[in-house]
Amino acid sequence: MGTAQAVGVIALVVSAVLGSTYLLGRNLLPEEPRNDSAVTATGAEHPEYADQVPPSADSPAPTGTPSSVPPSGVPHDPDHGETQDPNFGPMGTRVTTGTGTVALTFDDGPNPDYTPQVLALLREHRVTATFCLVGQNVQAYPWLVQQIVADGHTLCNHSWEHDVTLGARSPEQIRNDLLRTSEAIRAAVPDAPIAWYRQPGGAWTYSLVATARELGMTPLHWTLDTSDWQRPGATRIAASVLDGVQPGSIVLLHDAGGDRQGTVDALYRILPELSGRLDVEALPRHGF
């Protein structure tokens, strides 16, 4: 074999090895992380904070959850195979207003960047809503809770630190978490009723439902999930509400837990169009 041929063979071998190494490296790279992390009142990243992020495989499985819940969220009567009252979903949680009124709900706040913008827009369009509050954010920003109540909105307990796996804990731990959150809310607004509880991630268990009811709070689920925590943009968030809403819908939105400017911007379209079609009001302040 001549010198030129030998050099050519060596070059081909080296190219093949480098190409294989590149492909192998690409396969070993981790996937791009989902951009659904969020920021707590202290500014620390908290990937599990967004409502729809499921617990990881290492998280304890919630106990007492039925083996299956229909996609609509409406439970079925196992003895008769018939759909029960459509106003109720997983384990008897509330999924509609029960009337023709639509309820907008805002989770994970309060937040000093987004909650004031949401409140200003609601005030401009004379719409009241329901705010599901995280205890540690209430403790950090009590004046925002005071403003929520001053504007006539309804309050909902949303756990102390947005613990998706809270339902897997003991009844005593669940009770302490909910009480701690309600106490923080009452420290900010002593006379305001807290008639609702919403479990982060909608990860309901019978212990959660029973404890919430024992503490005088109605377990609150939703009819329409906008998935705004995924930050799809204001246009898609607005379309998800305006295209999917029906009389009686409880709409899930967020005013905290990450960058919520898309949700705020979507309200510029949602509020005038929705209030022109349907009655939009906060859930009853004292529950059902």
Whether 107 is a known active-site residue: answer yes
Cβ-in-10-Å burial (0-12, 13-18, 19+) of 50 comes to: buried
The helices-and-strands tally (H runs, E runs) of the chain is 8, 7
Q: Of 96, 122, 91, 97, whose CA–CA distance to 109 is shortest? A: 122
Which residues, in sequence order, are bridge partners of residue 155? 131, 194
CA-CA distance, 209 to 215, in Å (whole number)? 10
Distance from C-alpha of 283 to C-alpha of 152, rounded to nearest angstrom: 11
Decide: residue 239, CB within 10 A, 0-12 exposed, 13-18 middle, 19+ buried: middle
Annotated catalytic residue within 51, 107, 163, 228? 107
Count CA within 13 A, CB hemisphere, residue 254: 30
Quote the CA–CA distance of 227 and 221 in Å, as a whole number.
14
Pick the catalytic residue: 153, 162, 221, 254?
254
User: What's the sign of the alpha-carbon dihedral 263, 209, 284, 73?
Assistant: positive
> What does the radius of gyration of the chain's CA atoms come to, in whole angstroms?
24
**CB-based burial, 112-133: b 16+ in 10 Å, e otherwise:** eebbbbbbebbeebebbbbbbb
Beta bridge partners of 85: none
Separation of alpha carbons 76 and 66, rounded Å: 11
At residue 271, the 3 state secondary structure works out as helix
Residue 254 annotated in active site = yes
Residues classed as catalytic: 107, 254
